[in-house]
Structure 1
Amino acid sequence: MRLTKLEHACLVVEKDGRKLVIDPGSFTAPLVDLHDVDAVVVTHEHADHWTPDQLAHLRETNPDAVLYGPQGVADAADGFEVHVVTDGDTVEAGPFSLSFHGTRHAVIHESIPVIDNVGVMVNGSLFYPGDQFTVPGVPVETLATPVGAPWLKVSEVIDYVAAVKPKLAFPTHEQTLSGPGLAMHFDRMKASAQSVGGDAVQLAAHESIEL
C-alpha cells in the first residue's frame, strides 16, 4: 500500500492500482487529473478538508467513486451523494477496507459550534483522525497526526501519539504553521513516538512512502 501526502490534510492511498482520497480541501492544489479513485473520505465539513471544486474535479475523472463522510458533510455537500458513516461503521471500497472512529470535531472555542467529524482506518493499518484526537482502540501501524490548527496545542499532539502508540507517525494539517513552527512541532511529535517504541517521518507535499 502506497501513501502520498498532498498539501495540508489531503492523503492519497494506492493499492493494486486503485486509489483512495482523504480530505481534498482548499489548502490542497486542485486535483484535476487524478484517476482510478474508488472512494473519497471527507472527515468533516470545514473547507480545508473538502471543497465543491475538489469533489467536482474528482467526480469528473472518477464518476463511480463513492464519497463517504459524516452527516455534517452530507448536509454541507449539496449536489453530491454522500454515504453517511459514523463511529463503528465499516465499508469495503475496491481494495480498501475502511473503518470509522469518532463522531465530533475537537472544540475550537466555546462560541463555535462543534460539528461532526469521523476518523478513518484504512486496511487496518493507516489511521487518520480528521480534526480530533480519537484513539481508535485498535493497533495502529501508521498514524497521520494533525500538528497545527486553531483547536490544537503541541502538548495534545505529544499526548495523542503516546496514547495511540503507532509504529510510525507523520504530521498532517500543517499549513497553519510556519516552517520553523512545523519543525518544532515535528520534533516534539517524533520524540513522543519514540518514547512508546515507534518513530516519525516528515513528508513533503506529494512525497510518498510504502506502508
Structure 2
Amino acid sequence: MQFTHLGHAAVLVETATTRILIDPGNFSGAWHGLTNLDAVLVTHQHPDHVNPDNIAALLSANPDALVAVEASVIDAVDLGGRARPLMPGDTVDVGDVHVAAVGGQHALIHRDIPRIANVGLVLSAEGEPTFFHPGDELDTIVEGVDVVAVPIMGPWAAMKEHIDFLRALKAPDGFAVHEALLSERGWALAFSRYNAMTPTTVHDLRDGRPWTPVR
C-alpha cells in the first residue's frame, strides 16, 4: 500500500490495482486534477475535508469512482447525486481494498459549538498494511492498525490528546496530516514530540512524494 499526502487532510492511497482519495479539502490543491480514481471518501462535512468549490470538477474527472461520504455530507455539499452514505459500522469494498467506517462524532471544538458527525476510515487489503484515517476525532481506537494518518494539529485538540491517541492506537507507523494551520516551528515542535513520546514513528510526507512503509 502506497500513501501520498496531498496537503492537510487529503491522502491518496494506492495498491497495485486501486486508487482511493480521502478528504479532498480546501486547505490543499494538490489533489485537483487527479484522474483514474476508484473511490473518493470523505470523513465529514467541514470544507477542509471536502471542498465544495472543487469537488464537482474532481468527480467529473473521475466518472466511474465510487463516492462514499459520512452521511451528513450528502446534504451539506453538492455531490451530483453520486454519493452513498457511510455510517459507523458500514463497510464497502473498492477493488482489492476493504473500507470500514468507525467512530461517529467530530472531536469537541468548544461546548458552544454543536458537534457534527465524523467517520474514521480503516482501509485494509490482503498482504497490505492496515491504514486508519481518523478524520477529526481522536476517541476511536482501532485494533491492528499498521499506519495512521496523524492529525498533527487541530483547533479541537491539544498535544496531550494526540499523544494519548497514538499511545492507545499503538500503530508502528504514521504520517502527519491536518497541518495547514501550523507554522514551521509549530510543525517541528509537534512532530518531534509525537515521535519522542509515542510508539508510532511519524513520517514527514509534506514533499508530496509517494511513500510505502517498510517493516
TM-score by length of 1: 0.93
Match of 1:19 in 2: 19
- Count of aligned positions: 208
Whole-Å separation in 1 of the counterparts to 2:171 and 2:30: 31
Q: Write 1 or 2 for the structure with the bigger share of helix.
A: 1
Bigger mean CA offset, 126-135 vs 201-210: 201-210
Match of 2:131 in 1: 126
Match of 2:55 in 1: 55
The AA in structure 1 aligned to 2:144 is P
C-alpha change, 1:134 and 1:82, in structure 2 (3 Å) is: farther
CA drift of 1:94 comes to 1.7
Match of 1:187 in 2: 192
1:89 matches 2:99: no
CA drift of 1:95 comes to 2.4
- Using the aligned pairs only, state the percent identity: 36
User: What CA RMSD, in Å, does the superposition of the two structures yield over aligned residues?
Assistant: 1.5
CA drift of 1:207 comes to 2.4
- Structure 2 residues without counterparts, runs of 5 or longer: none
Task: Give per-residue Cα distances to partners, 1:65-107, cap 9 Å, x unaligned.
Answer: 1111122111112343321112111110122210111011001
C-alpha change, 1:169 and 1:32, in structure 2 (3 Å) is: closer
1:172-183 correspondence runs (5 A): 172-183=177-188
Whole-Å separation in 2 of the counterparts to 1:186 and 1:193: 11
Secondary structure class of the residue paired with 1:69:
strand
Match of 2:68 in 1: 68
- Structure 1 residues without counterparts, runs of 5 or longer: none
CA drift of 1:15 comes to 1.4
1:194-205 correspondence runs (5 A): 194=199, 198-205=200-207
1:163-178 correspondence runs (5 A): 163-178=168-183
C-alpha change, 1:4 and 1:149, in structure 2 (3 Å) is: same
CA drift of 1:168 comes to 0.5
